[in-house]
Amino acid sequence: MIPAWMKDLEPLCLCRHDFQKTGLTWGLFLSPESLLSTVQSLYHEEFFLEDISTLDAREGFVIVYHLSAYQGPERVALHVILPHHEPQIPSISTVYSGALWHERETTDFFGIRFAGHPDPKPLLLPEGMTDHPLQRKEKDRAPFRDLLDTGEILKREPDLLFFEKNEEPVVKGKPETH
């Protein structure tokens, strides 16, 4: 059963997880445009931000936000997939101030920009450094479907092909290479 707090959310993909196996109850894949409203909804449902992490996959960067409920055993992962050529996402620091350092660290190590971040200067790396040490070389990037356990997919937008085993994933907005 899908919880009531999820009814107004608009994920691109909704996955139910086995908490005993993954430590998650739900996984939601979101567009960058729906991230902030989803985070605000979870905040009002008394979820707290645990961390922000990033994967550098073949299809793009996958930003993962882990949130847990203060009341109850719910733990959610929000996934937002960004193209390598345009790694920008809204900052959630206006909702969760604890995101400030996580976002700066992500910028340092992966080069992802957080629009609206009040203090985007480097957190750990020297000012002016242009290399991002956790970015992978293109040849070393694994497909998204090999990096994450999606759990049971309950709902998925038809053009979200990152999970297909028999098809090469399609990345919207990715420049063609010949």
pLDDT digits (tens, 9 = 90+) for 17-63: 999 999 999 999 999 999 999 999 999 999 999 999 999 999 999 99
Q: Is 159 exposed, middle or buried (0-12, 13-18, 19+ CB in 10 A)?
A: exposed
In three-state form (DSSP H/G/I as H, E/B as E, the rest C), the secondary structure along the chain is CCCHHHCCCCCCEEEECCHHHHCCCEEEEECHHHHHHHHHHHHHCCEEEEEEEEEEECCEEEEEEEEEECCCCCEEEEEEEECCCCCEEECCCCCCCCHHHHHHHHHHHHCCEEECCCCCCCCCCCCCCCCCCCCCCHHHCCCHHHHCCCCEEEEECCCCCCCCCCCCCCCCCCCCCC
Query: Cα separations (Å) of 14 from 6, 82, 118, 125, 137?
Result: 10, 18, 31, 36, 30
pLDDT of residue 108: 96
Q: What is the pLDDT of residue 160?
A: 79
Cα 153 to Cα 41: distance, rounded to the nearest angstrom: 22
Q: What integer pLDDT is reported at residue 38 of this predicted model?
A: 97
For 124-156, what is each residue's pLDDT tens digit? 998 888 889 999 999 999 998 888 888 899 999
Confidence of residue 163 (pLDDT cuts 50, 70, 90): low
Whether the predicted pLDDT of 169 surpasses 70: no
pLDDT digits (tens, 9 = 90+) for 97-131: 999 999 999 999 999 999 999 999 999 998 888 88
Q: Are 15 and 154 in contact (CB under 8 A)?
A: yes
Q: Give residue-wise pLDDT tens across range 80-91.
A: 999 999 999 999
What per-residue confidence (pLDDT) applies to 9? 93
Name which residue leads in pLDDT, 173 or 116.
Answer: 116
pLDDT value for 165: 58
More confident residue, 172 or 161: 161
Give this prediction's pTM: 0.88
Mean pLDDT of 162-172: 55
Half-sphere exposure (CA, 13 Å, Cβ side) for 97?
Answer: 0
Q: Of 3.40.190.10, 2.30.42.10, 3.30.460.80, 3.40.50.720, which CATH number belongs to 10-126?
A: 3.30.460.80
Tell the burial category of 74 from Cβ atoms under 10 Å away from its Cβ (0-12, 13-18, 19+): buried
